[in-house]
């Protein structure tokens, strides 16, 4: 990531406002142009992630992942279900399950894998193998980057 983008991203993260637009057929026609992923900016989905998304997401819903400032390590992952795909989003799909990431968050998630895990005390979607993270907390939702 270019160093000139980092200060702007860091300042925008704390006051992030998600502007929603209705997903229309005109947006769907342009989807292929907006969401073309190359190998270096791909986010992968595990089989368990795709399977669980298909089980819990309602019609036309997908999992949105946002990186925000905060958490015990400096940045944190935020997961939510959404139905709106914005112009600055990238879509990653496996067996019909979709994960959407905005371009600013994608800078922090490039090369990562999204998984779904079930543990004794919780079940959750999580980011694993993030090559951009140099440290993280034990809960798995917070991470730090090398600037």
Span 25-59, pLDDT tens digits: 333 333 443 444 555 678 999 999 999 999 999 88
Name the average pLDDT for the chain.
75
Which of 21-30, 73-82, 84-93 bottoms out in mean pLDDT, i.e. has the lowest?
A: 21-30
Q: Give the integer Cα–Cα distance in Å for 145 and 86.
A: 26
Q: Which residues contact 68 (CB under 8 A, 6 or more apart)?
A: 13, 14, 16, 75, 76, 78
pLDDT at 21 exceeding the cut of 60: no
Residues ≥6 apart with Cβ < 8 Å to 127: 65, 77, 109, 112, 113, 114, 115, 140, 143
Q: Pick left, alpha or beta for residue 33 (phi over 0 → left; psi -120 to 50 → alpha; otherwise beta).
A: alpha
Interacting residues of 105 by C-beta distance below 8 A, sequence separation 6+: 65, 66, 67
With cut-offs at 50, 70 and 90, classify the pLDDT of residue 90. very high
Q: Quote the pTM value.
A: 0.70
Neighbours of 91 (CB within 10 A): 17
- Note the pLDDT of residue 142: 64
Find tokens 């989807």 and name the residue: 31
The phi and psi torsions of 84 (rounded to 5 degrees) equal -110, 125
CA dist 40 to 17, 102, 111, Å?
Answer: 27, 16, 7
């Amino acid at each position: 990531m270019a160093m000139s983008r980092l200060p702007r991203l860091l300042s925008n993260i704390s006051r992030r406002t998600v502007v929603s637009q209705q997903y229309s057929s005109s947006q769907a026609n342009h989807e292929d142009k907006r969401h073309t992923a190359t190998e270096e900016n791909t986010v992968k989905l595990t089989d368990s992630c795709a399977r669980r998304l298909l089980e819990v997401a309602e019609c036309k819903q997908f999992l949105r992942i946002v990186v925000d400032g905060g958490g015990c390590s400096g940045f944190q992952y935020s997961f939510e279900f959404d139905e709106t795909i914005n112009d600055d989003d990238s879509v990653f799909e496996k067996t019909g399950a979709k994960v959407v990431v905005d371009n600013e968050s994608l800078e922090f998630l490039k090369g990562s894998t999204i998984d779904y895990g079930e543990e004794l005390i919780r079940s959750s979607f999580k980011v694993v193998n993030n090559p951009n993270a140099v440290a993280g907390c034990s809960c798995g939702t917070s991470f730090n980057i090398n600037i």
